[in-house]
Amino acid sequence: MEKTSSQQRREKKQRKKEREHIARKKQKRTNVVAWIVAVTLVAVVAIVTTVIIINSVSKKISKENSEINQIAVKSKYYELTLGDMQYLYYDNYNDFMNDNSENININEEVSLKDQYYDETAGITWYNYFLQQAKDNAESFILLASAAKDEGYTLSEKEKDDIDGIIEAFEEYGAEEGYTLQGYIEYAYGEGITEANIRKCQEIKKLATRYYTDKVDAATLAYTDDDYTSFLEENFDAYASQTCFIDYTYFSFEATFDENATEEEIKTSREQAYGLAEELQASESAEEFDGIILKYIETAKLAETTGVTSEEYLQDVYKRTMGYNEDDDFAKWAFSDERQTGDSTIIEIEENVFVVYYLNKSLYFNEDSTKNFRQILMETENYASEDATRSTALNIIKEWENGEATEESFSALVKEYSTDISSVENGGLYMYVREGELDIDNFDEWLFDDSRKPGSIGLIKSDAGYHIVYFCGDGVPTWQAILVQPMQEDVYENLKEPLKGIYNVTFNNELLNKIVG
């Protein structure tokens, strides 16, 4: 029976309320950032960890209509029905809205078919999410098919994760007076069942693990030459984050009255440029700094700042910068022939001449990253914070009384950790940069100079307690920054040949009947 507009509005408001409620629960589960090897997969084969009900379905595919069970996607091993694809469509939509609802102009009271993602190109938000569903379905199927051919099967943990998704539907549905099936239909449309969710999740789990394994192997095999070659080929895109130069600068400005004659302006410009040339002629960094110090002292620039002239020079006129393809000085400073001690004059705006002295030519951020494993013990799963800590200490004792190796720690991760993103790989996090983890006390422990491979620690966070095993140093920071884009290349190289083997095809006429 068709629902009235007021009923539809009430349901949409309820879904929004649920989204906010579940988002708050999700924020409490503060896990560390995704394992570096799996980062790229977030946009390709994202792992579902929480059920989010926020769709604005105002029409339904009727249960009686056999189209819901018709095959919409075919491949060598897998077939997805229209119902499967509708689930994937809204699964992606829900995740997107949970992350972006405050920044995206989507009105949940209006059909996505009537709202534009790109009005100029005529692409609606419905078109956008439908294409995302198709792209994701193809990725899932290709990777899961390859996994199947290589003997992959679902692990017990992956099966438990899928059971957890269904249990979450039961929990939230019961709170609102729904049966499990009723709540699934409320979330995804009439005719969508538990079987649709389980099938799609099983494919996604296999695809995710296969991808992670392949990218992990490729990443660990990267050499210094691989990183350097990738950076050279993509310099404009990544040099600003990986390459730096140190320099000192000082500016000279031509000054004249607004009624000055052309001759007076010319004379003032020549004087300013002449001073710039005198500074540029310095034969050493010490001489360059010394001339600037005389200007600082003569103009009494530091007197009201509470610092010495030397400190003023350091704070104001010495800089470190990353590459910027639109900056004239950066183009000069990062060119292949540039060397420490080089200097130049650039007119950055009319009548303003800046002298630059290169204190250190192109260099990389060589700070080491860190590798570690963790067991996450979330307080919400225990009677109290004290109970959580006590359990964590008992796990540490269990490890210490056993083999006390990295392998034995990895085994305990699979038994105890609730960090879904890392359980399957033994809690491993690789190439973590200083400042990357937004968790109190984590950097202090992880980047302690005295930390040795094999060290184990207990770190408290808002989520609970992290039992951390220190594996050792990872690659330098500049290489860690390149890992994700390099993995994207690995993914494309992995996926492309699979297309010809597993041949994923779509029934677009049927797919256009997904509710939007």
- Looking up residue 415, the CATH number of its domain turns out to be 3.10.50.40
- Count CB neighbours of 383 within 10 A: 10
**Tens digits of residue pLDDT in 359-409:** 999 999 999 999 999 999 999 999 999 999 999 999 999 999 999 999 999
Can you give the residue range of the structural domain that contains 424? 368-480
pLDDT number for residue 332: 96
Query: Is the domain of 179 the same as that of 239?
Result: no
Residue 516 lies in a domain: no
| 106 domain-assigned | yes
Tally of structural domains, the chain? 3
| 274 and 394 housed in the same domain | no
Give dist(CA 480, CA 483) in Å, integer: 5
pLDDT (mean) for 180-197: 92
Q: What is the DSSP string of 437-472?
A: --STTHHHHHT-TT--TT-EEEEE-SSEEEEEEEEE
Residue 26 sits in the same domain as residue 53: yes
Asked if residue 322 and residue 402 are part of one domain, the reply reads: no
Residue 487 in any domain: the answer is no
Residue 35 has pLDDT above 50, yes or no: no
Q: pLDDT-based confidence at 157, cuts 50/70/90?
A: confident
Nearest C-alpha neighbor of 210 from the set 91, 426, 374, 37? 37
The last residue of one of the domains, among 333, 364, 395, is 364
Task: pLDDT band for 33, please (50, 70, 90 cuts).
Answer: very low
- 65: confidence class by pLDDT, cuts 50, 70, 90: low
Q: Are 145 and 78 in contact (CB under 8 A)?
A: yes
How much is the CA Rg of the chain, to the nearest whole Å? 30
CB neighbour burial string for 400-422, b if at least 16 within 10 angstroms, e if fewer = eeeeeebeebbebbbebbebbbb
Is residue 229 assigned to a domain? no
Last residue of a domain, one of 364, 394, 421: 364
How many residues are listed for the chain in this entry? 516
What is the average pLDDT across 344-350?
95
At what angle are helices 285-298 and 309-317 packed, to 10 degrees? Answer: 110
Q: 435 — phi, psi (to 5°)?
A: 90, -5
Contact predicate 312/301, CB 8 Å: yes
Domain C-terminal end among 364, 387, 406: 364
Residues 325 and 463 occupy one common structural domain: no
Q: How far apart are CA 186 and CA 14, in angstroms?
A: 11
Helix axes 285-298, 262-280, angle to 10 degrees: 130
Return the top range by mean pLDDT from 216-220, 459-463, 503-507: 503-507
- Say whether both 113 and 256 belong to one domain: no
Calpha distance 350→262 (Å, rounded): 14
Do 197 and 278 belong to one domain?
no
Q: Which of 177-181, 295-299, 416-420 has the weakest average pLDDT?
A: 416-420
In a domain, 489, yes or no: no
In a domain, 172, yes or no: yes
Smallest CA-to-CA distance from 252 within 278, 273, 281, 280 is with 273
Does one domain contain both 356 and 372? no
Q: What percent of the chain has pLDDT over 90?
A: 70
Residue closest to 436 by CA, chosen among 32, 46, 27: 32
Residues 195 and 326 both lie in one domain: no
Residue 334 falls within a domain, yes or no?
yes
Residues 6+ positions from 53 with CB-CB distance below 8 Å: 15, 18, 19, 22, 94, 172, 186, 187
144 and 250 co-located in one domain? no
- Whether residues 27 and 149 share a domain: the answer is yes
**Residues 392 and 407 reside in one and the same domain:** yes
Is 317 domain-assigned? yes
The CATH code of the domain that includes 342 is 3.10.50
**pLDDT over threshold 80, residue 29:** no
Percentage of residues of the chain with pLDDT beyond 70: 87
